[in-house]
A and B are shown apart, each in its own frame.
Chain A
Amino acid sequence: MSDENNSTLWTTITRLPENAWRSVFRNPLPSSDLGRASTSFTNFFLHLHPVKTHRHSLKATYTFGLGLIAFFLFLILAVTGVLLMFYYVPSTTQAYDRMLDLRGTVAFGIFLRNMHRWAAHGMVAVVFLHMCRVFLTGSYKPPREFNWVLGIVLLLLTFFSSFTGYLLPWDQLAFWAITVGTSIAGYAPLLGKEMRFLLLGDSNVGQEALLRFYVLHVAVLPAALSLLVAIHFWRIRKDGGLSRPPEEDELGTPQLQPVPMPLGADVAAATAKASVIAIPAIEKRRYGIQGLVRGPFTKVGNVPDRSVFSWPNLFTAELLIFVLTVAGVLVVSLFFNAPLEEPVNVMHPPNPAKAPWYFLGLQEMVSYSAFWGGIGIPTIEVLILLLVPYLDRKQIGVGRWFARERLLANSLFMTFVIVNLILMVIGTFFRGPNWEFVSPW
């Protein structure tokens, strides 16, 4: 620092690469705990994480990384989606030809479309599994009620994104699935017809509907998803990190010895200040790390809890999940092509006209009663899901899979999941022409 003022032109030039690098990355690769902490909060992307992570949160068998996988799939969808936008035209006369162009003339076109399609299927599945994980470990309980609510909204946005997405190829599946789907909206009481008209921009699925779904799919819904994902992540930290059983926070005798590490010159002042900040912060550990990183200090050394530094423990875990997620999508996209049916024929619905697998449970219910199957029961299900953390508030069985104390809640939830899965399986495999019962064998 001090020799900046008397540096010669030569040293300025020779040190330019190093200075430029260090202006971006303030810390060299960390070799000490101070460095590990400092690296975490001087990097924009890393500072979204806590400096230290509880060991329990890093257990692969606790979270299975489902939330992260969902997020990384969303990133893949955003990147491949933007790339596909360069070639796509939301026009009823061109959209399908553009799909064929992706197959025929665009370099990597078919591969990008495969990635986008399979990542979308994956995201629906993983977001749902993530919800199951959070429920079955009792992680929605206070103080995490609101984050559960955000999660449900994110699940619905994921469904709606995929729903708007599959009109875009303008093939037979697209047209008839949206015809059926928006007719379901028309059954909503009072405003149903209005909502349908607003969504389609016309009384039937056509050019206006394609344009509207395109705008929703590429602008409105991704923006809403991004904002809510950011809040969802931020709330994880504000709610005290991932849920864990209270035993995980119990230790023998806490040795409260925060070791202040001054970065500046006034060591003595820093030491005094650090101990003032650190001690109450550790006693009330939920905001412990937040409290500690204020000012130019960090807590290193004998830390009386079961947390480890996020660099490298959390970040390598995240990198691993990222690599595995990308690899999974790449492999599936190499071996399986995204389906593309015949171009739209408004006169001949395919028989049977089936939605993608994750909506077939809904379609199965709709085949009994359009209002109850398409509006009534789904609305009740979503309302119950939203209310769950406000009804079940007892702090028991938090942070463990299938806790015995939560037998009733978990059984009810599993029933809900299994019933929906059975409906999905019936709709997928046991329904043939005219939606009549058929045997898949």
Chain B
Amino acid sequence: MEPTRHKTVTEEAGDPITRRKLLTWLSSFGLFGSFVIAVFSNLIFMKPRATYGQPNRFGIGKPEDFPSGSRLSLDARRVCIVREGDRMAAISTTCTHLGCIVSKSETGFSCPCHGSRYDQDGNVTGGPAPRALPWYQVSLAPNGELEVDKDIEIDPGTYLRV
């Protein structure tokens, strides 16, 4: 069968971009692009810019409130305030495994959810926890109150002298 003139042209010229093809590509691209933008806009919408929960920086009281040698777990804040002599530190009590609150034990901390165990400084001594408990920055505010900032992790063993 004799090919029509139109067919011969398209086949021999390789892939000439006809107006129809170009418009199809452009509109497909436009539709798909709009879809992707819509999905991302929705994700951006879903990600809150402001949260309503607890602030990550908070005051915990004056250094005198913590006697030397005390280890006080502030469960609502999920930190344990440690004072040894004139050195103070804040160790996280959120288990690094799956976010349960670890409780103080004789040897350090232990997690009730999946049995992770930590020593006094938060190093993992057993269980599934992948990392040591982080230490947070403790600073002395101008009004003489101690302040913990959970956004700033510091090296374990770094103490604030009071």
Contacts and interface: CB of A to CB of B under 8 A. Distances in A.
Interface stretch (B30-38, B43-51, B139-147, B152-160): B43-51
Given A198-B47, A202-B48, A206-B53, A349 B110 contact: no
Nearest to B112: A351
Interface string B77-121: 000000000000000000001111100000000111111000000
A243 B46 CA distance: 42
A349 B51 contact: no
Given A346-B75, A367-B114, A434-B112, A208 B98 contact: no
A206 B46 CA distance: 16
Contacts, number: 85
Contacts of A363: 114
Nearest to A179: B99
B76 A346 contact: yes
A366 interface: yes
A350 B103 CA distance: 11
Contacts of A413: none
A375 to B, nearest CB: 12
A349 B127 CA distance: 17
A198 B51 CA distance: 11
Given A198-B46, A208-B48, A353 B112 contact: yes
Given A202-B52, A202-B53, A369-B128, A180 B112 contact: no
Query: Interface residues of A toward B: which range?
Result: 35 or more
Interface residues of B, number: 25
Contacts of B53: 202-204, 206-208
B130 interface: yes
Contacts of B99: 179-180, 182-183, 186
A208 B46 contact: no
A159 interface: no
22 contacts: A176-B113, A180-B98, A180-B100, A180-B113, A183-B97, A198-B43, A198-B46, A198-B47, A202-B48, A202-B51, A203-B51, A203-B56, A204-B53, A208-B51, A346-B75, A346-B76, A352-B113, A363-B114, A366-B114, A434-B110, A434-B111, A435-B127
Given A206-B52, A346-B76, A366-B114, 16 more contacts: A176-B100, A180-B99, A183-B97, A183-B99, A197-B47, A202-B53, A207-B52, A207-B53, A349-B112, A350-B112, A351-B112, A352-B112, A368-B128, A369-B128, A433-B112, A436-B115
